[in-house]
Structure 1
Amino acid sequence: MSSFASISPDKLSRLIGTPQCPVVIDVRTEEDFAADPRLVPGAIRRGAEDAPQWGQEFAGRSVIVICQRDAKLSQGAAAWLRVAKAAAETLEGGFEAWKAADLPLVPVARLPPRDAEGRTVWVTRARPKIDRIACPWLIRRFVDPKAVFLYVAPPEVVRVSERFKAAPFDIEDTFWSHRGDRCTFDVMIEEFALATPALLRLASIVRAADTARLDLSPEAPGLLAASLGLSRIYDDDLAQLDAGLALYDAFYRWCRDATGESHNWPTNRVKQ
């Protein structure tokens, strides 16, 4: 049973990918991290011994701290975070327990370099519709919650990428782009090792809507309609992204939790 200061891998896995997910901090030693350079989805790296210095950054926030086996490093860092007024817990069993449960782990080698503020930076074409909202949602919810997205004129994507050290996505002839009949969202799920049943179901909807193959998924016309509607509502691409995050949050929770549920309009009238 979980103590007041710990959370089980299963419970944390249910929070990851949702707006309610706490900050996840990996404090494994450099040696342990080098032996398995993967992260719990959305986790950031910090040095445990430096928690007295960086702890204030998370004051007032919910935090989960992970070390190799839920021992001195995570326990100590979480205690310092609580001193800094963060609601800090540790992951039961640590990184090893998460891995033993066969839960997703993101390979750090696939992440682009972070900027001076520790954020990954991405760039794509302006006026997004589907893939260019779906991919940022996936990155923010499962890879880097602080990720920055630059929307620029299509001819300038590559040059902006080079000048501002941003990873280009959803444009031709780049790593993060369509491959065969798969869209960029599919590619990111594969490369970031996030192939859970819920995300694969969502990927089929995104692929169908993004590639004009609406017959592939009965939900795709709804996603297409909502996406095109958002693109008409918002002139500001970043405002559209903010609104789109809520849209994909809803689709993800349906894919994960509600596919077996239907809805009708039952009445309380007694049949004559």
Structure 2
Amino acid sequence: MSSYLEISSEKLARLIGTPNCPALIDVRVDEDFDADPRLVPGSARRDYRTVQDWTHDVDKASAIVICQQGKKLSHGVAAWLRNAGISADVLEGGFEAWVEGGSPAVPSSALPERNAQGHTVWVTRARPKIDRIACPWLIRRFVDPHAVFLYVAPSEVEMVGERFRATPFDIDAPVRWSHRGERCTFDVMVEEFGLATAPLLRLARIVRAADTARLELAPEASGLLAASLGLSRMYADDLEQLDAGMLLYDAFYRWCRDATNETHNWPSAKKDA
């Protein structure tokens, strides 16, 4: 059982992937990180030695601090954050306990470079439908909560990526983040970001079915396709559509994680008198 000011890996796993997840801050020393250069999904590295300088950059009311074993470094940083008015807890057992429990971890080698503000920047085709909303949702919920997405004319994606140091995705070109065979870009990201959990694999099947016109792969795909096309008609602004799509995928993810066995039948059939 977690002690006061600590959170267990099991409880943290329930928060990751949801819009209310606290800021996740990895303060492992370089030696420990280099030995296993992966990250708890959605976390970002910070230098514990300069915590007094970056507390103002934490843009959430709560945070969870992660070090190698959940001891002095994370407890010290959490105390500094609380001193700055941020509710902060420590991951019980640290990164070691997280991976030993079989929880997913994102390889740092899969992450694009970050800009001066510490955010990853991505670029894709304008007027998104499915993959180009699903992938940003995955990135913001499990990889980089502050990721920036640029939607541009299809012919300009690669050059915009080059000029603005943005990572292209879901385009018809030989780039890392795009369709591979029968798999869509969302499938590729789930695999390469080390996020192949049962709920995300279930969601990936739905996204693949809707995105590649193979609705027979998942009965839920028709609903996702209908909602996605509806959103594309509702919003002329791609970023406004992305904001609305985040809620849509939040709901699909929670169904994939928590509600696949639940049914709804109201009013229920009445028995004969």
Q: TM-score, normalised by structure 2?
A: 0.97
Alignment of 1:34-53 (within 5 A): 34-53=34-53
Distance 2:168 2:210 in 1: 22
Aligned to 2:121: 121
Whether the 8 Å CA contact 1:65–1:88 is kept in 2: the answer is yes
The equivalent of 1:265 in structure 2 is 266
Per-residue CA distance 1:79-121 (angstroms, 9 max, x = gap): 0000000000000000000010010000011111000000000
Name the structure 1 match of 2:64. 64
Cα deviations by residue, 1:40-78 (Å, 9 ceiling, x for unpaired): 000011011211221233376110000000111001000
Amino acid at match of 1:185: F
SS in 1 for 2:150: strand
Structure 1 unpaired stretches of 5+: none
Change (3 A) 1:29 1:157: same
The answer on whether the counterparts of 1:131 and 1:184 sit within 8 Å (CA) in structure 2 is yes
| Rounded Cα–Cα distance in structure 1 between residues aligned with 2:72 and 2:168 | 40
Q: Secondary structure of 2:245's partner?
A: helix
1:142 and 2:142 correspond = yes
What is the match of residue 228 of structure 2?
A: 227
Amino acid at match of 1:206: V
**Identity across matched positions, percent:** 68
* CA distance in 1 between partners of 2:178 and 2:260 (Å): 29
CA distance 1:190–1:149, shift in 2 (3 Å): same
Q: Match of 1:127, as an amino acid?
A: R
Secondary structure of the corresponding residue to residue 88 of structure 1 = strand
Residue correspondence of structure 1 range 1-272 to structure 2 within 5 A: 1-58=1-58, 61-172=61-172, 173-266=174-267, 271-272=272-273
Structure 1 length-normalised TM = 0.98
Provide closer, same or farther for how the CA distance between residues 137 and 127 of structure 1 changes in structure 2, counting only shifts above 3 A.
Answer: same
How far, CA to CA, are the matches of 1:267 and 1:211 in structure 2? 36
| Contact 1:60 1:87 (C-alpha < 8 Å) held by counterparts | no
C-alpha contact 1:60 1:85 (8 A) present in aligned 2:
no
Contact 2:199–2:257 (8 Å) recurs in 1 = yes
Whether the aligned pair in 1 keeps the contact of 2:39 and 2:107 (CA below 8 Å) is yes
- The alignment of Structure 1 onto Structure 2 pairs a total of residues equal to 272
